[in-house]
Structure 1
Amino acid sequence: MSAAESGKNPDDGPGYETLAEITKAMKEAGVENCGLIFGIDYTISNKLQGQKTFDGHSLHDITKDKINPYQEVICILGETLEPLDDDGIIHAYGFGDRKTKDKKTFPLKPQGECEGFAEVLDVYNEMTPKIRMGGPTNFAPLIRKAIDIVRKNQEYHILVIVADGQVTSEEETIQAIVDASCYPLSIVVIGVGDGPWNVMNDLDEKLPSRKFDNFQFVDFHEIKATARSPQTAIAIEALSEVPEQYKAIKKLKLLENM
């Protein structure tokens, strides 16, 4: 699979073409294992963001005969990321619902953490129909929750945020991303739905100086539409900056200085 087929712009950085290549690069960078944190966007804009990309349905629509984008991302990243997680524990949170709004997060599993992505998917399927979507959209509470987890566990983590991209609390989100660069934490945002993605695409350029480039955005549907092997391409794109991020974390001694 070429870089073009994988949905990767050759000018964006290392042109990983297979999962084996990126796995090797991660090991060479020193990533033997890591903690995983998963965040799901429950803002009300999800009801309208599937007009083009999900046959007009809500992005959280759950039926037996069709998998929604959130379920698809959980499955794809579960297969890719789970082998990196030594204890199998996934910290899974929702945000943007009618109760927490843009101020807090809530655990997707009411009691305890999820054991593997299979349970993340099971809990998502069980809880989503009960959740009342709200807003506005703010990634900051989730990012700060991730920082707390990293500080407590004193281990490198990858935070995956699956969202429809309609960030309304942009300044708070930017500040949280900047603050997170003081910790061994990579942030990957998987954009699902119709977009537009101008905020996500421009976010890196608007960010003030950080300790390291800790943020990666992946346009889920664009990659699916252009890649020969969409699942592989999405997984590669999601992890494409992790090797360099981890090298920067080691160079800055962020794990040692916690």
Structure 2
Amino acid sequence: MCVVYQFVGRLTELFNQGDGKWNECGRTEQLQNTLNPEWATQIRIQYFFEEKQTMRFEIYDIDSTSTDLSAHDFLGRVECDLAEIVSNRPFRKSLRFAWLTLVNEKKREKKGNKYKNSGTLEFDGVQLLKHYSFLDFIAGGTQLDFAVAVDFTASNGAVHKPTSLHYINPTQPNQYEIAIRAVIDICQHYNNSKLFDAFGFGAILPPDTCVSPVELKRTDSVVGLLGLLEAYRFALNRVKLYGPTNFAPVIREIAKKASGLPSNGSRYQVLLIITDGAISDMAATKAAIIAASSLPLSIIIVGVGDDEFENMHELDSDDRALSHAGHIAQRDIVQFVPLREILPDDCTGAESERVMGLLAREVLAEIPKQLTSYMKKKNITPRPPDDPFPKDAEAGRESILLKV
């Protein structure tokens, strides 16, 4: 028998229990006399893309009909994030069509009980315009590509000073590291290759004197969360903080990559920008975002430090489409969150874990809607779960049935 649990609360790294508990979600049926059980029980799990959902699966050798697990032999357990397994979930949906009776109210009143109908309407051809969910596309093999762009302008403060937003504290992450870890810790499970692009802006790379997007990586790829953090720290010791805070160059760079992605919906690009202040090239940034709004791309902006970020809210156009110089964005692709609204003044190393969970929930909440809006606009339907895109393809809130 397999017993399924979900952790509720804050979980520290490496699955050590933090402030929370394991809730039992369900148990499979008991199978007798088999060393390779295949359970048919389906367990319903509430799925949140923007949250880290940790699952535990415990296997027992059943010796009696007792529901007390201590009465059975414990064989082992495995723990993982729900995001790691959702792409393989099985599901079926059925549709039922019927005849529709046409009723004329005036004739029915006139004829009374003698009235039957005014004819029948039969659908001999049906075109189903289905609203596919984010999970439908993930189950069909859609991969999320990620890029991170870090603000290396001088307004962050000298990196060796404890007051700097880039200061590396051995006991707790800085605000840039909190933002990177919060987003990538969840998002890395939606990319099989775990290869990410890492950029910086507003810096000078000695011996050059020009300012442009700087690739943080030393090799052709950055692997996973640890690779991104390593590239970030490597860059801190290599670049000279300068300015200005220009978003447009890095947005155009990532938009160029997104424009080259397959048109079948197998891949979708997400750009995370972390910045400490106001944008210096607002007009160019608006133009770049509007131009990119037709591409498979979402942009997450996290503001660090104490800046008010007044002009940043112009880009996060939830109420109306972003416009500039007579051009209008095809869809909303930007989500902005200031970290100071979540981060307490006296944040400790342990507290930063909770902050990461809250930040991830805020910044990732719109990604499912943005992805599905792009797919709908391009008339792209997801591949069926039993025939997904190959894993090596260059490539809201829902319930899922978890089959173990």
State whether residues 204 and 210 of structure 2, in contact with CA within 8 Å, keep that contact through their aligned partners in structure 1. no
Richer in helix (by share) = 1
Deviation at 1:30, TM superposition (A): 4.8
State whether residues 41 and 96 of structure 1, in contact with CA within 8 Å, keep that contact through their aligned partners in structure 2. yes
State whether residues 92 and 114 of structure 1, in contact with CA within 8 Å, keep that contact through their aligned partners in structure 2. yes
| Aligned position for 1:219 | 338
Moved more, 101-110 or 151-160: 101-110
Of 274, 277, 290, which aligns to 1:162?
A: 274
State whether residues 105 and 141 of structure 1, in contact with CA within 8 Å, keep that contact through their aligned partners in structure 2. yes
| Aligned position for 1:236 | 361
| Aligned position for 1:246 | 371
For residue 120 of structure 1, give the secondary structure of its aligned residue in structure 2. Answer: helix
Deviation at 1:220, TM superposition (A): 1.2
For residue 343 of structure 2, give the secondary structure of its aligned residue in structure 1. Answer: helix
Deviation at 1:153, TM superposition (A): 3.5
Rate the CA distance shift 1:241–1:30 in 2: closer, same or farther, 3 A. Answer: same
For residue 302 of structure 2, give the secondary structure of its aligned residue in structure 1. Answer: strand
Distance 1:74 1:213 in 2: 22
Distance 1:101 1:177 in 2: 27
Give percent identity, aligned residues only.
27
State whether residues 192 and 220 of structure 1, in contact with CA within 8 Å, keep that contact through their aligned partners in structure 2. yes
Aligned letter for 2:244?
Answer: P
Deviation at 1:29, TM superposition (A): 5.8
| Aligned position for 1:144 | 252
State whether residues 146 and 159 of structure 1, in contact with CA within 8 Å, keep that contact through their aligned partners in structure 2. yes
TM-score (norm 2): 0.53
| Aligned position for 1:12 | none
State whether residues 255 and 295 of structure 2, in contact with CA within 8 Å, keep that contact through their aligned partners in structure 1. yes
Deviation at 1:160, TM superposition (A): 0.5
| Aligned position for 2:322 | 207
Distance 2:280 2:50 in 1: 35
The runs of 5 or more residues in structure 2 that have no matched partner are 1-7, 9-47, 54-81, 87-132, 346-350, 382-404
User: Is 1:45–2:155 an aligned residue pair?
Assistant: yes
Richer in strand (by share) = 2
The number of residue pairs the alignment matches comes to 237
For residue 316 of structure 2, give the secondary structure of its aligned residue in structure 1. Answer: helix
Aligned letter for 2:165?
Answer: L
Rate the CA distance shift 1:182–1:18 in 2: closer, same or farther, 3 A. Answer: closer
Matches within 5 A, 1:42-191: 42-47=152-157, 57-99=163-205, 104-154=212-262, 155-191=267-303
User: Is 1:19–2:129 an aligned residue pair?
Assistant: no
The runs of 5 or more residues in structure 1 that have no matched partner are 2-15
For residue 40 of structure 1, give the secondary structure of its aligned residue in structure 2. Answer: strand
TM-score (norm 1): 0.80
